[in-house]
Chain A
Amino acid sequence: MKISFSVNEVPHSIEIKDENTPLLWVIRDMLHLKGTKYGCGKAACGACTLHVDGEAVRSCSYAVKFAEGKKIRTIEGLGTKENPHPVQQAWIEEIVPQCGYCQPGFMMATAALIDKIPEPTDDDIDRNIINVCRCATYYRMRKAIHRAAQIQRTTSKTME
């Protein structure tokens, strides 16, 4: 079966036998974008979080057939070294990662959060950022989420 979608604004058409293959494996093994991680495969940890049409989605539990015609964004499409996304900027400033494995998922979840709630409270963070970090970087992550929101607010103000 042929499925077409864009990933980080690049159009892709893939030919796949099992249309129920999790999007995660198409992204990692067919498109070779290894930033999106496999943690549990059960929609429990959030390591595989990416955006589908701007919504945070756990790609280990998302059949690729549902991606037809959609816009997918992965951690590779968040920002660049020269022009980091506010979430990436904040993550660098707060030196968040420990081993790093869970971080792309957290960052994608955070990017979706601050798009929808530009000034998230601690409660908003508790409700919406429910990924799992085995290194327990939660404390630094919370600081970075507030900081990312602040950078995004300032950037969007300057752009107005």
Chain B
Amino acid sequence: MKTIPHSIPIILLLVGGILMTAIYSRGVVSSYSSTTIPNNEVLKDTPFDKMMQVLTHERCINCHPNDNIPKQGKDSHPHYFGMKRGEDNLGFTATQCTTCHQPENNDYSGVPGAPHWSLAPKSMGWQGLDKYEIAKAMLDRAKNGNRSHDELVHHLTEDSLVLWAFDPGVDHEGIPRETPPISEAEYKAAVIAWFENGAIIPKE
């Protein structure tokens, strides 16, 4: 008989704890938001806008940080364990990106992977830029690894690490990672069309 009144406060405490944790983690989540498309912007249907829906998505931006820290997850939180850019964008000397990331996603551990897994070079830091600024940086040969338009199209539509965004595997809880809002085929067609039409950055 006595156990019932005792268990109620415990249950209340537990529920309270869970609620507090949920509220706290939401707070942490929002402080790392890296979304570059304002929520109220009407998404247009031009090749430029379609391409940018992908390039501003966290699947791309997380590895194009504006500092030396890779980001993770929908909330773009800093990579756990203090991992940083290190040397050659490949991590530290003895603990490299490839200590954990292999050429394919690992569905057992939830660790994402793709060939030549690495951080984008510092000159390609896009985090915090809007889509127009990203496009400018992407076309700037001083920042884009001296790539011509043809080479950019190749990088954007053929590179397996770039295309990983459309097949990002599952996370550590086995939950599929979110993909960009348009399909891989639509994205590729948009990139090709935008470059074919002269890679003109629309006025803001």
Binary A-proximity of B54-92 (CB < 8 A = 1, otherwise 0): 000000000000000000000000001111101000001
* A20-B108, A60-B109 as given contacts; A117 in contact with B99, CB under 8 Å: no
A61-90 at interface with B (beta carbon < 8 Å): 61-63, 66
B183 touches A (CB below 8 Å): no
Q: Are B95 and A60 in contact (CB under 8 A)?
A: no
Question: Nearest chain A CB to B141's CB is how many angstroms away?
Answer: 32
Tell me the count of chain A residues lying within 8 A, CB to CB, of chain B: 28
Q: Cβ of A94 < 8 Å from any Cβ of B?
A: no
From B94, B96, B104, B111, give the contact of A42 (CB < 8 A).
B111
Is A57 located at the chain interface by the 8 A CB criterion? Answer: yes
Q: What's the minimum C-beta distance from B80 to chain A, rounded to whole angstroms?
A: 7
The chain A residue sitting closest to B95, CB to CB, is: A128
Specify the main secondary structure of chain B where it touches its partner: loop
A42 x B99 contact (CB < 8 A)? no
Q: How long is the Cα–Cα vector from A62 to B96 in the complex, in angstroms?
A: 14
Q: Summarize A's interface: helix, strand, loop or mixed.
A: mixed
Contact A56 B99 (CB under 8 A): yes
With A66-B103, A130-B82 as known contacts, state yes or no: A22 contacts B109, CB within 8 Å: yes
Task: State A117–B92 Cα separation when bound (angstroms).
Answer: 11
A113 to B99, CA, bound (A): 12
Contact A127 B92 (CB under 8 A): yes
CB < 8 Å neighbour of A44 from B80, B96, B107: B80
Residues of B within 8 A of A117 (CB): 93-94
**B110:A62 contact, CB within 8 angstroms:** no
Tell me which residues across on chain B come within 8 A of A60, comparing CB atoms: 108-109
Query: CB distance A20 to B107 under 8 Å?
Result: yes
Q: Does A113 lie within 8 Å of B108, measured CB to CB? A: no
- State whether the Cβ of B100 lies closer than 8 Å to any Cβ in chain A: yes
CA distance A22 to B83 in the complex (A): 23
Contact of B95 among A20, A63, A127 (CB under 8 A): A127
Q: Is B106 an interface residue when CB atoms closer than 8 A count as contact? A: yes
User: Which one of B81, B83, B95, B108 lies within 8 Å of A56 (CB-CB)?
Assistant: B95
- Having A58-B100, A109-B95, one finds 5 other A-B pairs with CB under 8 Å, namely A55-B99, A57-B99, A63-B104, A116-B94, A127-B82
| B-binding residues in A (CB < 8 A) | 20, 22, 41-44, 49, 55-58, 60-63, 66, 109, 112-113, 115-117, 124, 126-130
